[in-house]
């Protein structure tokens, strides 16, 4: 039975991990906004996905906030800076989700599922782009197609690539692959 008002409209999305996908990963943790370095062309690539019609959401584990290693205000400023970089490139970030506590962190799909509810996202037509096994497992558990970026030795040890439909060197290459998928072209040009 259709809901009143006709069929519900759902949208494909791209879920982006933050550290290692959008910005340079710092070890053990990116603590200060002044240390944020966006990866080359990452904001432009995210903007291209948004402009193509994908709902764009950032989903990131930030357990160091809950553990007291990263101030909440600094975390919020980092999220604002990353979102602003994408928006300045012409994209729209529908939502930014952060797991501050291990109980809802990836590989659990909680952030992805929350975003899907809030933005009418069709998870079967959506992509999770991340740089480690936790990202890939969260995408799989949510029913997304996974794209692994920046495949370093660590990710191969984790066997992250086994949970990915595609492995790309960086977000621009991942975006190019996503945008060439037949469903992406047909869904977004309607």
Structure tokens at 172: 């621009």
| Cβ neighbours of residue 26 closer than 8 Å, sequence gap 6 or more | 19, 35
The DSSP output letter for 171 is: H
**122 labelled catalytic:** no
**Residue among 77, 23, 14, 20 at smallest CA distance from 46:** 14
| Cβ neighbours of residue 182 closer than 8 Å, sequence gap 6 or more | none
**17 labelled catalytic:** yes
DSSP β-bridge partners for residue 68: none
Given the residues 19, 44, 135, 150, select the one marked as catalytic: 19
What region, left, alpha or beta, does residue 92 occupy, with left being phi > 0 and alpha being psi -120 to 50 degrees?
Answer: beta
Active-site amino acid positions: 17, 19
């Amino acid at each position: 039975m259709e809901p009143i008002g006709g069929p519900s409209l759902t949208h494909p999305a791209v879920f982006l991990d933050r550290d290692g996908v959008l910005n340079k990963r710092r070890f053990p943790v990116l603590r200060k906004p002044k240390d944020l370095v966006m990866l080359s062309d990452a904001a432009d690539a995210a903007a291209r996905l948004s402009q193509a019609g994908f709902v764009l959401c950032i989903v990131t584990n930030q357990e160091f906030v809950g553990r007291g290693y990263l101030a909440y205000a600094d975390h919020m400023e980092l999220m604002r800076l990353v979102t602003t970089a994408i928006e300045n490139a012409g994209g729209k970030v529908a939502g930014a989700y952060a797991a501050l506590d291990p109980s809802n962190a990836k590989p659990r799909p909680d952030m992805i599922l929350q975003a899907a509810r809030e933005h009418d996202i069709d998870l079967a037509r959506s992509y999770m782009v991340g740089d480690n096994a936790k990202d890939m497992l969260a995408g799989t558990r949510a029913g997304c197609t996974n794209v692994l970026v920046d495949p370093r030795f660590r990710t191969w040890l984790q066997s992250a690539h086994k949970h990915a439909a595609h492995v790309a060197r960086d977000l621009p290459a991942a975006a190019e692959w996503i945008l060439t998928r037949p469903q992406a072209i047909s869904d977004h040009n309607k």
